[in-house]
Structure 1
Amino acid sequence: MPATAPRRRLTAALAVTAALTMGVTACGGTTKDSAGKEGGATATGSADPKAPLKKGLTVAYLPKQVNNPYFTTADNGGKKAVEQLGSTYKEVGTSSGTDTSGQVSYVNTLTQQQADAIAVSAQDPGALCTALKQSMKNGVSVVTYDSDTNKDCRHVFVSQASAEDLGRTQIRLLAEQIGGKGEIAILSAAQTATNQNTWIEFMKDELKKPAYKDIKLVTTAYGDDDAQKSFQQTQGLLQEHPKLKGIVSPTTVGIKAAAQYLSGSRYKGKVKLTGLGTPNDMRAYVKNGTVEAFELWDPAQLGALAGHTAVALESGRITGAEGQKFKAGDMGTFTVGKDGVVLLGKPTVFDKSNIDEYDF
């Protein structure tokens, strides 16, 4: 996992994913055999943890946004895992992080093309449900990763870490940096993003604790995972709230854009910034004093775990029922938890002391 693994070398594969897209011509007619899987996290179909892993499958990744460095890294991790398992990897998706209708169209196309499994990061918790349910009805194994949909609209959600851990620890990091008092703001991605909103709810709940009585959350801004908009939102936050002491941005695009703005402004070192970012994006800002510490998981491992989960589902080793176990290569054995959630692990905090140990 990120806290113990050696220095990562993922950059060599980053150019591959964008070229791997699927055409939109539908294959007609028949549906796939569902292999005994039942839809959603309440699945009770029989599973055989020793069943042979199927090869020659097509596993399609549908990220929130293609050509986003975070998803490029995650999906390349998935590509490596899927191909090592003897199956075919594909990536499709929109260039916008808010095009929910585009995501729906891709799910429908993948279902028509009889993909064996879909790994999707949902832009909206409900918008994909009808399409994903139809996929499952047609025998497609559906895994969500990074951002979930409703639990009855997929078999398994591969989560970065506990949503509660992620929400609370970001507030703890920022509180420590601002000395436990002052005004703070949140810079999020899309207003409908499932993962962002879940983390923010835990942030707000954490702030209710007596330890944070002197911290005031003044607003939540939305940059839509667009670098320019997130940059402008950061500027706006500081103009509208001149007493602002800190910003927490639970999105890799947002935190990088905020750091870029702060780094070139009079607020550098005065307004604290934390959230979720990649070491390669944030290294310069940590070293120049703009950012003290931030956190994340290894996105390549998240993508890889989504691939292993999809193949395990399609092979009948799991159905998505709570308590089922499966092996994910050299990542180890994972257990399906409540509501069909599989946790990658605890987030890692990056600062000057360790950031050069990571390369992703």
Structure 2
Amino acid sequence: MFSPFPPSLRRAGATLAAVSCLALAATACGGTTKDSAKNDDSAKSSAAKADPGAATKKGLTVAFLPKQVNNPYFTTADKGGEKAVQSLGSTYKETGPNSATDTSGQVSYVNTLTQQQVDAMAVSAQDPGALCTALKQAMKNGIKVVTYDSDTKTDCRHAFVSQSGAEALGRTQVKLLGEQLGYKGDIAILSAAQTATNQNTWIDFMKDELKLPKYRNMKLVKIAYGNDDAQQSFQQTQGLLQEHPSLAGIVSPTTVGIKAAAQYLSGSKYKGKVALTGLGTPNDMRKYVKNGTVEAFELWDPAKLGELAAHTAVALSSGQITGKEGEVFTAGGMGRFTVGKDGVIDLGRPTVFDSKNIDSFNF
């Protein structure tokens, strides 16, 4: 998040990368070959059959393991998960590292949850492969594993709840910036961590979008990494403009990054001259939209992402789905969702926020 999201609200872009995938997310996943997934029968029981009519189990323990606790984005997402878990008659818990780049720490939390024998865990992965050994062990122990916001390799979980289609999140951020720049000028990307699965997937689609003829006068000159840290992201923004003084625009697919970049631009000579878009939350970005620093940005609702992750975890634990493509389940009042290729479940399209609608949102 969002990663895309900041310590003061990484409610994203997604590590918002956001969106995707939110998604952000998005999203946004590293993959493995089908053969490797098939050969890992002990970790992921592909032979199991879904029973969409099965009763929803109660009394489960569902744990949420975000990239970073006390991150406003994940706080919002996980509260959505908590609300859903409790409404389904089960117990919610949250645990995780204080740093969005503490991959070894995140692994240790997976191991701890496995030892505690939780029924399911929803994980936003800091790295696509680093958690795999631990997550596979969890699955061998009968724990249902859902990734949300940022994915692992496909054989290391049962399903991935994406902020939105990864391609849509990557391309729409570039489209927003292109519209604001009249499709000309040098641009940069301010991402989260270099290993963030969702961010990297969105960036790949951004690069592909930039190959289209209408972007022939736009050039990507740098990708910077703020590690979903407000101070580092602020400094990276400053560094981008010092290194590229003629920079026309910045895309930041992370709520931490876009907020920090907006903060820097707002107090600099570049305000109103350098366009900024990406994945952010309305509450974080409202003042920057109103003071003219930012014209428009986008994001999904992180609370809904957490809610869908919780429903997915409980549906898996209840045997209503297994994570196989084509399976359908109901996520409470959110409606029915279909499991897509490689076990990906899309939340939906992101919302674009600007001066006309930003006051209608509060998250």
Aligned residue in 2 for 1:53? 56
Task: Return the alpha-carbon distance in structure 1 between the equivalents of residues 55 and 107 of structure 2.
Answer: 32
3-state SS of 2:96 partner: coil
Native 8 Å contact 1:38 1:45 kept in 2 = no
3-state SS of 2:248 partner: strand
Deviation at 1:45, TM superposition (A): 1.5
TM-score (norm 2): 0.88
Change (3 A) 1:38 1:330: farther
Native 8 Å contact 1:44 1:321 kept in 2 = no
- Give the count of matched residue pairs: 324
Matched, 1:205 2:208: yes
Deviation at 1:164, TM superposition (A): 0.1
Matched, 1:92 2:89: no
Aligned residue in 2 for 1:74? 77
- Letter aligned with residue 81 of structure 1: A
* Matched ranges for 1:170-189 at <5 A: 170-189=173-192
- Letter aligned with residue 222 of structure 1: Y
- Letter aligned with residue 122 of structure 2: A
Aligned residue in 2 for 1:124? 127
The partner residue of 2:279 within 250, 254, 276 is: 276
Task: Return the alpha-carbon distance in structure 2 between the equivalents of residues 63 and 171 of structure 1.
Answer: 27
Matched, 1:146 2:152: no
Task: Return the alpha-carbon distance in structure 1 between the equivalents of residues 353 and 99 of structure 2.
Answer: 28
Aligned residue in 2 for 1:317? 320
The partner residue of 2:270 within 257, 267, 271 is: 267
Runs ≥4 residues deviating over 3 A? 37-40
Deviation at 1:133, TM superposition (A): 0.3
- Letter aligned with residue 277 of structure 1: G
Task: Return the alpha-carbon distance in structure 1 between the equivalents of residues 351 and 142 of structure 2.
Answer: 36
Q: Cα deviations across residues 291-318 of structure 1 (Å, max 9, x unaligned)?
A: 0000000000000000000000000000
Task: Return the alpha-carbon distance in structure 2 between the equivalents of residues 172 and 150 of structure 1.
Answer: 28
Larger radius of gyration: 1
Task: Return the alpha-carbon distance in structure 2 between the equivalents of residues 352 and 95 of structure 1.
Answer: 34
Deviation at 1:38, TM superposition (A): 7.3
Task: Return the alpha-carbon distance in structure 2 between the equivalents of residues 328 and 354 of structure 1.
Answer: 27
Aligned residue in 1 for 2:118? 115
The partner residue of 1:304 within 304, 307, 311 is: 307
3-state SS of 1:119 partner: strand
Q: Cα deviations across residues 35-74 of structure 1 (Å, max 9, x unaligned)?
A: xx9745x934111101000001100000000011000000
Native 8 Å contact 2:43 2:137 kept in 1 = no
Native 8 Å contact 1:119 1:143 kept in 2 = yes
Aligned residue in 2 for 1:251? 254
Change (3 A) 1:346 1:38: farther
Change (3 A) 1:86 1:95: same
Task: Return the alpha-carbon distance in structure 1 between the equivalents of residues 43 and 108 of structure 2.
Answer: 20
Matched, 1:169 2:164: no
Native 8 Å contact 1:107 1:131 kept in 2 = yes
Native 8 Å contact 1:38 1:44 kept in 2 = no
3-state SS of 1:187 partner: strand
Native 8 Å contact 1:38 1:319 kept in 2 = no
- Letter aligned with residue 299 of structure 2: L
Q: Cα deviations across residues 304-345 of structure 1 (Å, max 9, x unaligned)?
A: 000000000000000000000000000000000000000000
TM-score (norm 1): 0.89
3-state SS of 1:195 partner: helix
Task: Return the alpha-carbon distance in structure 2 between the equivalents of residues 44 and 300 of structure 1.
Answer: 33
3-state SS of 2:92 partner: strand
- Letter aligned with residue 286 of structure 1: V
The partner residue of 2:138 within 131, 135, 138 is: 135
Unpaired runs of 5+ residues, structure 1, are: 1-10, 12-36
